[in-house]
Amino acid sequence: MSVLTVNSLGKSFGGVRAVENVSFEIGKGEFLALIGPNGAGKSTTFNMINGQLAADTGEILIGGKSIAGMAPRDIWRLGVGRTFQVAATFGSMTVVENVQMALISHASRLLNLWRPAASLYRERALELLAQVGMQDAADRPSRELAYGDVKRIELAIALANDPQLLLMDEPTAGMAPRERNDLIKLVKQLVIERGISVLFTEHSMDVVFSYADRIIVLARGRLIADGDAAAIRDNAKVREVYFGTGKTFQGASS
């Protein structure tokens, strides 16, 4: 059974059809890239899958269960972690506390009024930070971090509930090319080690083509291609959307 199934999903904002009749699946342990030009509807798709936006049409199944009408926090409890295109962390907390917050929530201990939170799950949080290479910054206020580092914290937070599915909306935006590669490599490794399924968007084609197991392409809200790197590279429709006809992806990265 697929981890995520999306069936003829649609969403309009006023007159703009942001997403139209989109269907795809992700299998267990699959590293799936969702690409498309700016405004193609990628973030909108993410927002519907994590419950932030209600779909107008179609259905979304996670582990075979429809998520219609569920709030983001309930979908998270189904084992779906997410990072945002514009990274969001808790600015008044330290890096490690950000991760602890997710662990505390995962353990359903949010209503505890007594135990000092700073000592709860600190070890586990440090382990997660170590995985994303941020253990040295653990006790710094998260608002002081560089943007690329914030993105990595977000990844650590998203991993806190042992997700089955990770939704990463432009996880590498604002990072240097080297950093991008490292982060995606790290995520890929997690996919392999833990069998997590990942849906991610990414503007750097180099990264997408070297790491994604499969790629789906959105343009103006519609799904125009679905296949492996080679198939997408050779797909005429995709080329047209990205470069007009005739050009190739060689050396293209933003």
Residues that bind another protein (CB under 8 A): 50, 52, 71-74, 76-77, 82, 84, 88-94, 97, 100-102, 104-106, 109-118, 120, 139, 141, 143, 157, 160-161
The tokens of 167 are what? 């939704």
> Distance between CA atoms of 5 and 3, rounded to whole angstroms?
7
User: CB neighbours of 63 closer than 8 A, spacing ≥ 6?
Assistant: 1, 3, 78, 79, 164
For residues 134-173, which are near ligand ATP according to CB under 6 A?
Answer: none
209: number of CA atoms within 13 Å, CB side?
A: 15
Residue 114 binds which of Mg ion, another protein, ligand ATP, none (CB < 5-8 A, kind-dependent):
another protein
Task: Determine the size of the site formed for ligand ATP (CB under 6 A).
Answer: 12
Contact 26, 199 (CB under 8 A): yes
> Distance between CA atoms of 36 and 39, rounded to whole angstroms?
8
- Selected from 15, 38, 119, 230, the binder of ligand ATP by CB under 6 A is 38
Nearer to another protein, 93 or 224 (CB): 93
Residue 44 binds which of another protein, Mg ion, ligand ATP, none (CB < 5-8 A, kind-dependent):
ligand ATP
Tell me how far, at minimum, the Cβ of 222 lies from Mg ion, in Å.
16
10 lies in the site for ligand ATP, by CB under 6 A: no
Q: Which residues are 80's β-sheet partners?
A: 165
> Distance between CA atoms of 142 and 120, rounded to whole angstroms?
18
Q: What string marks each residue from 82 to 121 as x (binds Mg ion by CB under 5 A) or -?
A: ---x------------------------------------
217 lies in the site for ligand ATP, by CB under 6 A: no
Nearer to ligand ATP, 36 or 163 (CB): 36
> Distance between CA atoms of 31 and 22, rounded to whole angstroms?
18
Interface segment toward ligand ATP; rule CB under 6 A; list 31-39, 144-152, 205-213, 227-235: 31-39
Nearer to ligand ATP, 137 or 184 (CB): 184
Contact 59, 68 (CB under 8 A): yes
> Distance between CA atoms of 162 and 131, rounded to whole angstroms?
13
Contact 226, 214 (CB under 8 A): yes
